[in-house]
Chains A and B, each alone.
Chain A
Amino acid sequence: MAIIEMKNVCKDFKIYKRGKGFWGGVKSLFARKDEIKSAVKDISFSIKPGELVGYIGSNGAGKSTTVKMLSGILLPTSGDIRVNGIVPSANRKQNAMNIGIVFGQRSQLNWDLPTEDAFELYRRMYRVSDAVYKRNVDMFVELMQMQDFLRKPVRQLSLGQKMRAEISIALLHDPKILYLDEPTIGLDVLVKDRIRDFIRRLNAEKKTTVILTTHDMTDIDRICDRIIMIDQGRLISDTTLEGFKAGNAEAYNVIVEYTHAIDAPPDPRVKLLKTIGEGRALFTVDRQAMTVNEILEYFSRAYKITDISIKRPEIEEIVRNLYQKMSPS
Chain B
Amino acid sequence: MYALRLYMAFAKVRFMTQLEYRGEYFVRTLSKIIAWSTGFIMVMVLLTRFQAVGGWTVYEVLFLYALNMLTHSLAGTFFMNSFENLPRNIRQGVFDGVLTKPVSPLFYYVCTNVSAGYTSNYVIGVSVLVVCFAKLSIPVTLLNIVWLIAVILGGCLIQAAGFILTNVPAFWILKSESLMTLFFDDVKSFLQYPITIYAVGIQVLVTFVLPYAFISFYPAQYFLGREDALFHPLFQYLTLPVGALLYFVAVKVWNIGINRYNSTGS
Contact = CB atoms under 8 A, between A and B. Distances in A.
Interface of A: 13-14, 16, 65, 68, 71-75, 77, 89, 92-94, 96-97, 99, 101, 103, 106, 108, 111-113, 117, 120-121, 124-127, 153
A32 B174 CA distance: 14
A297 to B, nearest CB: 50
30 contacts: A68-B96, A72-B99, A72-B100, A73-B96, A73-B99, A73-B262, A73-B265, A74-B263, A75-B262, A75-B263, A89-B262, A92-B99, A93-B102, A93-B103, A94-B102, A96-B101, A99-B100, A103-B96, A106-B92, A106-B93, A106-B94, A112-B18, A112-B20, A117-B13, A121-B13, A124-B5, A124-B6, A125-B6, A125-B108, A126-B102
A96 B100 contact: yes
Interface in B9-57: 9-10, 13, 16-18, 20-21
Contacts of B263: 74-75, 77
A153 B2 CA distance: 26
A89 B259 CA distance: 9
Contacts of A74: 262-263, 265
Contacts of B10: 121
A98 to B, nearest CB: 9
A125 B102 contact: yes
B137 interface: no
B97 interface: yes
Contacts of A97: 102
A111 B17 contact: yes
B264 interface: yes
Nearest to B7: A124
Contacts of A113: 13, 16-17
B5 A96 contact: no
Contacts of A65: 265
Given A97-B102, A101-B100, A13 B5 contact: no
Interface residues of B, number: 30
B168 to A, nearest CB: 18
B110 to A, nearest CB: 14
Contacts, number: 71
Nearest to B262: A75
A74 B264 CA distance: 7
Interface centre among A65, A92, A94, A120, by most chain B C-beta atoms within 10 angstroms, is A92
Contacts of B17: 111-113, 153
A120 B9 contact: yes
Nearest to B94: A106
A125 B103 contact: yes
A138 B6 CA distance: 23
Interface string B82-109: 0000000000111011011111110010
Nearest to B16: A113
A123 B105 CA distance: 18
B23 to A, nearest CB: 14
Contacts of A153: 17
Nearest to B5: A124
Contacts of B20: 112
B99 A127 contact: no
A97 B103 CA distance: 10
A205 B246 CA distance: 51
Nearest to B102: A96
Given A68-B265, A112-B20, A113-B16, A73 B100 contact: yes
A70 B18 CA distance: 35
Nearest to B98: A73
A28 B82 CA distance: 31
Given A121-B13, A125-B103, 17 more contacts: A71-B100, A74-B263, A74-B265, A89-B262, A93-B102, A99-B100, A106-B93, A111-B13, A112-B18, A112-B21, A113-B16, A113-B17, A117-B13, A120-B9, A124-B5, A125-B6, A125-B101
A111 B264 CA distance: 28
Nearest to B112: A111
A8 to B, nearest CB: 17
Given A68-B96, A99-B100, A125-B102, A13 B265 contact: yes
A106 B94 CA distance: 7
A13 B265 CA distance: 9
A66 B108 CA distance: 24
A45 to B, nearest CB: 21
A282 B102 CA distance: 51
A97 B99 CA distance: 12
A125 to B, nearest CB: 6
Contacts of A94: 102
Contacts of A117: 13
Nearest to B259: A75
Interface string B255-266: 000010011110
A177 B174 CA distance: 32
Contacts of A99: 100
Given A13-B264, A74-B265, A108 B97 contact: yes
Interface centre among A14, A99, A121, by most chain B C-beta atoms within 10 angstroms, is A121
Contacts of B262: 73-75, 89
Nearest to A126: B102
B260 to A, nearest CB: 10
B233 to A, nearest CB: 46
A169 to B, nearest CB: 11
A277 to B, nearest CB: 40
